[in-house]
Chains A and B, each alone.
Chain A
Amino acid sequence: MSAARRKTTYREAVRDAIREAMLRDPRVFLMGEDVGRYGGCYAVSKGLLQEFGEERIRDTPLSESGFVGAGIGAALNGMRPIVEVMSVNFSLLALDQIVNNAATIPHMSGGQFAVPLVIRMATGSGRQLAAQHSHSLEGWYAHIPGLKVLAPATLEDARGMLWSALEDPNPVLIFEHVQLYNMEGELDAAAGAVPISGAAIRRPGRDLSIVTYGGSLSKCLAAATALAGEGIEAEVIDLRSLRPLDDATIMASVARTRRVLIVDEGWRSGGISAEISARIVEQAFYELDAPPARLCGVEVPIPYPKHLEDASVPQAESIRAAARALVRPT
């Protein structure tokens, strides 16, 4: 095994994951709006049309319901489709296909039909794309039995989750936060598939647990570094998977730290953070030394102006303040 590491970006890691899947399995193909000639709206699939041709890198009409449905049909018929939906906001046009068909067919057929479909979507705010392109609706999908919902927040997961998702017989949704595409870092040259179940402790700490995922992870880690300067050691948990949730890792962490802050860019009311908080209270009530706290997106459609957009979702400084208030109430 080579220990060599190379510089890369999140965008390149996702592209490498798609390439690897295309090369390893002839049943894999990529389908979506502008994924071919344009190279993907976030330039993830740039160059893949030239490498793999129109059969396997397919531009689709602007019809989410149509091409997601086609992806389900392809999966049912033995293919391994990767469907890209430009933004989670647009996926609402395909809700019927995702929720009523992809998620249900394996169950309604008594397990006779698998739907080994992967849908990739961009999610989140931070790129001034305003209220119709910037929301974080992955928590909604985490409500649906029959789906797996992933949120790669690191280069390793961007590189490794796709193959494992394609191997899974169930429909898997992968949410890529728009602010992560430009994230740079080093990745093992031999990096490959990673498990798609289980949360990861990205930073150990004793004073509180910060539970987060996706685009908020790097902000939480920055907050944790700053908190360490104040003598507060935060443990940062990257959920990785929103469905299923890794209760065991969360509860074990809360049992150690006894305080928990859940950070989620999505809206608070009825959000994934509410579900996590409820589970902590159900399963780890007697471990708690303070009520579970949540830091979520402000309940407004994400604004266009930069300063308002920034103010509408958790940032490193507000995470730091919320963590401090939890550990050292005044």
Chain B
Amino acid sequence: MSDFRMPSLGADMEKGTVVEWLKKPGEKIARGDVVAVVETQKGAFEVEIFEDGVLSEILVPVGTEVPVGAVLARIESGEAKPLAKPAPPAPRPAVAPSPTPPPRPSLPSAGERLRLSPAAARRAAELHVDPHSVTGSGQGGAITLADIEAAVARAGRTTGEKGRRGFDPSAMRQAIASAMARSKREIPHYYLSLPIDMSRALQWLAAENARRDVENRLLAGVLLLKATALALKDVPELNGFWIEGGPRLSTGIHVGWAISLRGGGLMAPAIHDADGKSIDQLMAALRDLVVRARTARLRGSEMTDPTVTVTSLGERGAERVYGVIYPPQLAIVGFGAVRPAPAIVDGAVAARPTVYATVSGDHRASDGVSGSRLLAAIDSRLQAPEAL
């Protein structure tokens, strides 16, 4: 028997609401199955299970908001393993609160602290209310005693009312605010940039696309993605997490690809093992990811797994982007728009399509020389596009 818990789908997630159970009690489940849909500040995500067994009991009904780590269901494992892997796969973001049973209010995370009056805190504990689910009406939005009591009074009526799927732009703004504020507060960023001549890459791309049908054409972004993933193999100290006061490097290179949402907001779900995927596989993964991000069909693991983030502004974007690292990652790589720019070629000035590659690195984990090597490695990979 093991517990299936509310996963942490990012450094900024404190709680989630089960909006759909896709498996019924008694049903067999296999590792990788999507078991439930969970709504967070960033929208709805499909949550997978990481073991084989039988779903024996659902503890949290649809529409209930619970803190990260709360037990959602119990799994009867096939061979009665003592302890199955919990839902949030390693590496787990440092801020995720330790698992707590649902009735106990969870502690505020190291990021944004809850403003909760002492009297309200005590009453919340008495009434088993999670103060994270309560909106404050006190000074500076502090949660007061009356807010806790009102939440309890309301809970009787409205549990189950929140069974909608989608996302709330203001909640996502809050989530981004929380993660970015934490990043700028905790992570000493260094910033580097390098202009990269894109002539060869674009020529190769044009030739490649000329022989493809429209549906299978490649975008320049996929070359940037692959070049970055390969470059990270040469500079592994930028790939991984800063956890509990030290770097934890990752062997897998799971690139979080920044996708802006039409309703406002931003996500950076993972493209797993991007260095090992072919250009075609990456292009398919990118298309799939963008569609699913915009229809709120991402998987939980896609939110937790990125080991690095890449943000590409596309063709109409700014010249350079110096990204803010998504904690607890170690770096973010940025690409501006590809534009013709003067370059010195064979001692003469020539107009060349140029992209500015940037890296923002966590100076606790690495130094500028690493970032510099990464940019140089991206450059050299882009000069040999046929090898990507």
Contacts and interface: CB of A to CB of B under 8 A. Distances in A.
A291 interface: yes
B142 interface: yes
Nearest to B120: A289
B125 to A, nearest CB: 11
A287 B123 CA distance: 10
B121 to A, nearest CB: 8
Interface string A319-330: 000000000010
Given A258-B145, A290-B144, A285 B138 contact: no
Contacts of A288: 117-119
Contacts of A290: 117, 138-139, 142, 144
Which one of B117, B120, B121, B146 has the highest number of Cβ atoms from chain A below 10 Å of its Cβ? B117
Contacts of B121: 286
B162 interface: no
B122 interface: yes
Contact of B144 (A285, A286, A289): A289
A304 to B, nearest CB: 36
A285 B121 CA distance: 11
A90 B146 CA distance: 49
Nearest to A287: B119
B115 to A, nearest CB: 11
A279 to B, nearest CB: 15
A287 B139 contact: no
Nearest to B147: A289
A290 B138 CA distance: 7
Nearest to B142: A290
Interface in A285-306: 285-291
Contacts of B146: 289
Contacts of B138: 289-290, 329
Interface string B316-359: 00000000000000000000000000000000000000000000
B119 A258 contact: yes
Interface in B131-169: 137-140, 142, 144-146
Nearest to A258: B119
Nearest to A286: B118
Contacts of B118: 285-289
Contacts, number: 31
Contacts of B139: 290-291, 329
Interface in B91-130: 117-122
A17 B119 CA distance: 45
Chain B facing A: main interface SS: helix
Contacts of A287: 118-119
Nearest to B144: A289
A290 B139 CA distance: 7
A310 to B, nearest CB: 28
Interface in A133-177: none
A225 B345 CA distance: 85
Nearest to B117: A289
Nearest to B139: A329
A179 to B, nearest CB: 32
A290 B145 CA distance: 9
A286 B120 contact: no
A224 to B, nearest CB: 21
Interface in A260-312: 285-291
Nearest to A293: B139
A285 B118 CA distance: 6
Contacts of A286: 118-119, 121-122
B255 to A, nearest CB: 45
B221 to A, nearest CB: 47
A289 B145 CA distance: 6
Interface in A35-84: none
Nearest to A326: B139
Which one of A285, A286, A290 has the highest number of Cβ atoms from chain B below 10 Å of its Cβ? A290
A81 B137 CA distance: 56
A258 B117 CA distance: 10
A175 to B, nearest CB: 33
Nearest to B143: A289
B262 to A, nearest CB: 34
B116 to A, nearest CB: 10
A286 B125 CA distance: 12
A288 B122 CA distance: 10
Contacts of B145: 258, 289
Contacts of B142: 290
A281 B118 CA distance: 10
A31 B227 CA distance: 95
B215 to A, nearest CB: 56
Interface string B38-76: 000000000000000000000000000000000000000
A290 B147 CA distance: 12
A111 to B, nearest CB: 41
A289 B124 CA distance: 12
A307 B91 CA distance: 66
A158 to B, nearest CB: 37
A291 B137 CA distance: 14
Which one of B118, B120, B121, B137 has the highest number of Cβ atoms from chain A below 10 Å of its Cβ? B118
Contacts of A329: 137-140
A291 B115 CA distance: 11
Which one of B119, B121, B139, B146 has the highest number of Cβ atoms from chain A below 10 Å of its Cβ? B119
Interface of A: 258, 285-291, 329
Nearest 8 CB-CB pairs, A to B? A289-B119, A329-B139, A289-B117, A286-B118, A289-B145, A289-B144, A288-B118, A258-B119
30 contacts: A258-B117, A258-B119, A258-B145, A285-B118, A286-B118, A286-B119, A286-B121, A287-B118, A287-B119, A288-B117, A288-B118, A288-B119, A289-B117, A289-B118, A289-B119, A289-B120, A289-B138, A289-B144, A289-B145, A289-B146, A290-B117, A290-B138, A290-B139, A290-B142, A290-B144, A291-B139, A329-B137, A329-B138, A329-B139, A329-B140
Given A258-B119, A285-B118, 4 more contacts: A287-B119, A289-B118, A290-B139, A329-B139
